[in-house]
Amino acid sequence: MSQQRHGNTPGNAGAVPAFPDLPEATIARLPEYLRALHNLAEAGSDTISSEGLAAAAGVNSAKLRKDLSHLGSYGTRGVGYDVTLLIDQIEYILGLDQRRAVALVGVGNLGHALAGYDGFASRGFRIVALFDADLEQVGKAINGLTVRHVGELRRAVVEDGITIGVISTPPSAAQGVADDLVAAGVTSILNFAPCVLSVPAGVDVRKVDLAIELQILSFHEHRKASLTALPGGLVGEGGNQEAVGS
């Protein structure tokens, strides 16, 4: 993956803005750094050491410094990073300076909860439309929006400038919804349905599968149980903390 030094101000006159291609694991950690930095800024910190930021974000400091170097952020020896500047750099890279319009399809139990999730709006993601195939749901008001029939999805994507689709339908419906989103021009999908989506190159999919998360925990539980069952009283190993995408 190419790694280019990224200037502080995006786009100098006449130059093509460089945009780093980052490892997926780095991309997933940037939002954690951002959250920690916002907390620090609120607490009044102007600068933060790499160790301090790493501790706040739950990663080791060498990994943090490596991640930020991809952005062209190197900190100052003995001082650390400028909090405000680093916030700007990360928000720019994550494209959070743009407000993104989101469509959510499937307003069952989980979809309904997602439609009301505060954490989206606070980061510039506006859910602008809700859809469902169930006529019993169509017309309902959720969080200030009226649920529309999924047949209107393609038109709404174009009219509302939607770039991100959230799929919280049953698995049997998810591929069809993905196809509609893609055909309408959406290139980013957040999939909560427990299935693998087939999408063309150029479309990014992030999958959140709660059952898989529990199965991963179950593996660790099983392994800990088997280790503590070893003869001679050998002690089991420590656990670990894995964030999504790391």
Q: Considering only CA atoms, which of 73, 81, 93 is closest in space to residue 50? A: 81
> Which of residues 151 and 185 has its CB atom nearest to a second copy in the complex?
185
Residue 80 marked in a binding site: no
The whole-angstrom separation of Cα 41 and Cα 36 is 9
Which are the contacts of 210, defined by CB distance < 8 A and separation ≥ 6?
Answer: 192
Q: Considering only CA atoms, which of 185, 217, 178, 226 is closest in space to residue 199? A: 178
> Which of residues 156 and 182 has its CB atom nearest to a second copy in the complex?
182
Task: For residue 161, give the amino acid letter.
Answer: G
- By rule CB under 8 A, what string of x and - marks binding of each residue 94-123 to a second copy? xxx-x-x-x------xx-xxx-xx-xx-xx
Residue 109 marked in a binding site: yes
| Interface residue with a second copy, options 37, 93, 129, 162 (CB under 8 A) | 93
Residue the block writes with tokens 């047949």: 151
Length of the chain as a residue count? 246
The two three-digit tokens of residue 33, written as one number: 């750094």
Nearest approach, Cβ of residue 146 and a second copy (Å): 19
Residue 39 marked in a binding site: no
Residue 190 marked in a binding site: no
Q: Are the C-beta atoms of residues 239 and 224 closer than 8 Å to each other?
A: yes
158 near a second copy, rule: CB under 8 A: no
> Which of residues 173 and 203 has its CB atom nearest to a second copy in the complex?
203
Q: Are the C-beta atoms of residues 12 and 55 closer than 8 Å to each other?
A: no
- By rule CB under 8 A, what string of x and - marks binding of each residue 126-155 to a second copy? ------------------------------
- By rule CB under 8 A, what string of x and - marks binding of each residue 32-51 to a second copy? x-xx----------------
> Which of residues 22 and 153 has its CB atom nearest to a second copy in the complex?
22
The binding site for NAD(+) consists of 106-111
